Amino acid sequence: MNSFKSIEFLDDNVILIDQTKLPLSEEYIRTNDYERVAVSIERLEVRGAPAIGIAAAYALALGVKNISSVNKDEGFQKIYNRLAATRPTAVNLFWALNRMKKKFETNKTSHNLYELILNEAKLIHSEDIDMCEKMAQNGLSIFKKKSNVLTHCNTGQLATGGGGTAFYVIQKAYENDLVNYVYADETRPLLQGSRLTAFELKKAGIPFSINTDSTAAFLMQHDKIDIVITGSDRIAANGDAANKIGTYNLAVLCKHHNIPFYIAAPTSTIDKNCDNGKDIEIEFRDKSEINSFRECKITSEHYDVYSPAFDVTPNNLISGIITEKALHQPPYNFSQV
């Protein structure tokens, strides 16, 4: 595993690596304030569906530590609502918050409520580490030869509590001599690929290059890509999957070029109450993320901007979905997961 941690909990503080500063600077946010964690989620200082869920669980525990014993329910709901409002698309956030809520409701009269609810957050974190390991092992079977892989956005330690989702599949495959080279989409507009995935590929010692998102078709046309693996922020019961904007493009390109397209995600990313991709709420981001970068203007701030953070890939374009439980193949039915 790479020599850094994206999320830690030490001495009643959440410690987060500030992903907006990577790869040029490794800086950490240390806080015991749930509001600061909520802001970190909104600013994408912490991002990636599993990591968001873990950070929110720790934040909720910290909030509970300081709520009044007189208005416990009201105080908890206020903290819950604040964290739930940070980002709408990634289902792991709500999965983690609802799990924490259940723990709170069962133990709210306990004298050691903070300890109990903090232990639940720690359990969510440790379970994610275990899920990443099992997911990576399950993903090895998708490699039929030593392959060139293309991936999109960031799906490594920075996006999870463990080794990662799609990234960790790639890393384990590389360690087993199944990956030759990795092409990392830069992932506009916030460049999670060129900033974060490249940072992690370098740490892991995996040969790679960064390419613009629009170069993916060229790479496929020239037989440079054998397989595409991405993560997901929410998977519907029928296998439709929401992921970082630009993922659907890749799936369509893979279909045209007869290249397998896989998704790796923990079962906490599967929303069995969501029938299909049409039911997934898509987050739209502020136009400043398009017309500027790190406060440097790259076009006029007066221009209108259309900026969805995610798109939805239909299940018929997905060759397989790798979870910690299995490599799921079409037709998908996650309604009983």
Q: Please, where are the H alpha helices in the chain?
A: 34-43, 49-65, 72-84, 91-107, 113-139, 166-175, 192, 198-204, 216-221, 247-257, 288-291
Residue 308 · residue 284 · CB < 8 Å: yes
Q: Which of 298, 210, 215, 223 is nearest to 250 (CA)?
A: 215
Give the CA count within 13 Å in the CB-facing half-sphere of 95: 24
Which are the contacts of 88, defined by CB distance < 8 A and separation ≥ 6? 281, 283
CA 298 to chain centre: 27
Round the CA-based radius of gyration of the chain to a whole number and report it: 20
Output the six-digit token pair for 218: 């060229």
Closest CA to 144 of 250, 249, 67, 259: 259
Name the nearest CA neighbour of 45 among 36, 53, 54. Answer: 36
| Positions marked active-site | 233
- How many residues would you count in the chain? 337
Q: Cβ neighbours of residue 95 under 8 Å, at least 6 residues apart?
A: 53, 268
Dihedral angle over CA of 33, 5, 119, 35, nearest 10: 20
Element (H, E) at 243: strand 241-244
Tokens coding 28: 């950490």
Q: What span, in angstroms and rounded, lies between the C-alpha atoms of 284 and 282?
A: 6
3-state secondary structure (DSSP) of residue 16: strand
Which amino acid is present at 299?
A: T
